[in-house]
Amino acid sequence: MNTTPCKHTVFLSDEFNKCIIQHLAVTAYHPTSTCRMGSTIDKNSVVDPELRVKGIEMLRVVYAAVMP
């Protein structure tokens, strides 16, 4: 039993599972821009323009919800 886009792989192998995820995974609902980006003096922002989290040293955010 193999799924159409991944017939070239062995069913339930790591390669098969990776292929299934790449071809069949979808998102349902994902809000964006939930974390405010702003200047270092903007008290309402969570991260600065270089994605450094304010108030926590050596922590950066790499996430699509952080938008200018």
What are the tens digits of pLDDT across the range 6-58?
A: 999 999 999 999 999 998 888 777 666 677 888 888 999 988 989 899 999 99
- In the chain, alpha helices (H): 14-24
pLDDT at residue 34, as a whole number: 74
CB of 37 closer than 8 Å to CB of 68: yes
Q: Which positions are catalytic?
A: 30
pTM of the model: 0.47
Residue 64, pLDDT > 90, answer no
Strand partners, 66: 35
Residue 3: band (very low, low, confident or very high) from pLDDT cuts 50, 70, 90: low
Number of C-beta neighbours around residue 29 at 10 A = 4
Select the more confidently predicted residue: 15 or 64. 15
